[in-house]
Amino acid sequence: MDRNTDVILRNHHGTEAFLACAGASLTGLTLGRGDGQFVNVALTPQGPCDPSCAGATLAPYAGRLRGGLLCVGGRILQLAVNEGPNQLHGGPNSLVRRPWRAQQVTRGEGWSEVCFEAELADGVDGYPGCRRFRTTYRLWDDDRLDITLEARSDRLTVVNLSHHAYWNLSGDFSRPADSQLLRVNADAVYLNGEGHLPVNVAACGRPPFDLGGLRPVMREGEAEDPQLALANGYNHAFRLRGGEDPAAELLDPVSGRRLRLYTDQPCVVVYAGGYLTPARCAVALEPQEHPRLAPDAPGPVLEPGTVYCRHIRYVFDSLKPLT
């Protein structure tokens, strides 16, 4: 991890968050095993051109836009495309792999944090506004990791910020994480069509979208389900119920390590890592705005003089192993 790391946050009992200026990324997170040793549970990027976006801040726009089209202020804009005819994660000149500036690490009572900052000029990839972005990581002594995503603009624009960490709580990224247990506090799922673009909304509850309780990331035979076959596993946005309960939970039944995700975003994209090597070796949980079913679908805008701010919290603990 050292070759990808610019900043390390460390808490009082040894948990470490490894961070990089490239993409304002989380390049690793180590948790204690209970025997004085530590294990990394966050997928480390494989160099500056890693197509997985592992650990990166997704800015200026997370997810896919059909045809690179987006409505801003009543006008349909043609944005730059970088995934066939569509745009992915903000376009070819997004901040996903570009260098951000790291500020000094600051410390408070029971926490340490660092901020990364970057800008995009008016018109880059078709987006209006000179935009300033900030990603703040705060590691707590009780093994919470807070990520705060902020944006400002001098013109009316649209942003959709998220974070693309991949998790395997076993720490073994050499094999699929199918047996890890996943729960998502959602009432609906966006179904995908060609190009992994959302085309419809359906209620959760039936397999393979029966995620109201803990279930394996992939059950035997589910790879043949028409929706999961599109991306060799989940690659779907779930509409969250909201409230105080975790938006999602991931549990390794062997070690008992657990991750609980809290967010003020309305959706979370679950990507089972079907295109990783090896396939499905880690799971991404990406809180973000509702995906656009059409270019003129309603969504939040960022007005001059205001601040777009979204929060993600990962809470790590350990339960008695279930197996």
- Residues above pLDDT 70, as percent of the chain: 98
What would the mean pLDDT of 276-294 be, rounded to a whole number? Answer: 97
Per-residue pLDDT, 235? 98
Q: Is 198 helix (H, G, I), strand (E, B) or coil?
A: strand
CA dist., res. 275 & res. 272, Å (int): 9
> Is the pLDDT reported for residue 288 higher than 60?
yes
Q: H or E element: which one contains 238?
A: strand 235-240
Contact 95, 59 (CB under 8 A): yes
Which is it for the CA torsion 252, 253, 254, 260, positive or negative? positive
1 pLDDT more than 50:
no
246, HSE (Cβ side, Cα atoms, 13 Å): 20
Inter-CA distances, 153 with 62, 127, 199, 224, Å: 17, 11, 30, 44
In the prediction, which pLDDT does 47 show? 76
Report the sign of the C-alpha dihedral through residues 219, 233, 189, 25, in that order: positive
List C-alpha distances in Å: 314 to 48, 146, 165, 263, 296: 25, 6, 11, 9, 33
Q: For 120-134, what is each residue's pLDDT tens digit?
A: 999 999 999 999 999
Q: Interior CA angle at 265 toward 69 and 18, to 5°?
A: 100
What whole-number distance in Å separates Cα of residue 231 and Cα of residue 237?
A: 13
* pLDDT per residue as tens digits for the range 175-226: 999 999 999 999 999 999 999 999 999 999 999 999 999 999 999 999 999 9
What are the tokens at 201? 């909304």
Residue 273 to residue 259: CA distance in whole angstroms = 17
Q: Is the pLDDT of residue 93 over 60?
A: yes
Beta bridge partners of 29: 17
Instruction: Give the residue carrying structure tokens 């999961």.
Output: 228
Is pLDDT above 90 for 323? no
User: What is the C-alpha R_g of the chain?
Assistant: 19
Which pLDDT band holds residue 34 (cuts at 50, 70, 90)? Answer: confident
- Give the pLDDT confidence of 262-271 residue by residue, as tens digits: 999 999 999 9
pLDDT at 137 over 90: yes
Residue 322's pLDDT is what?
Answer: 64
pLDDT of residue 4: 77
Supply 246's token pair. Answer: 């975790």
Output the pLDDT for position 2: 46
Q: Per residue, what are the HEC states of 75-125?
A: EEEECCCCECCEEECCCCCCCCCCECEECCCEEECCEEEEEEEEEECCCHH
Q: What percent of the chain has pLDDT over 90?
A: 91
User: CA-CA distance, 265 to 241, in Å (whole number)?
Assistant: 11
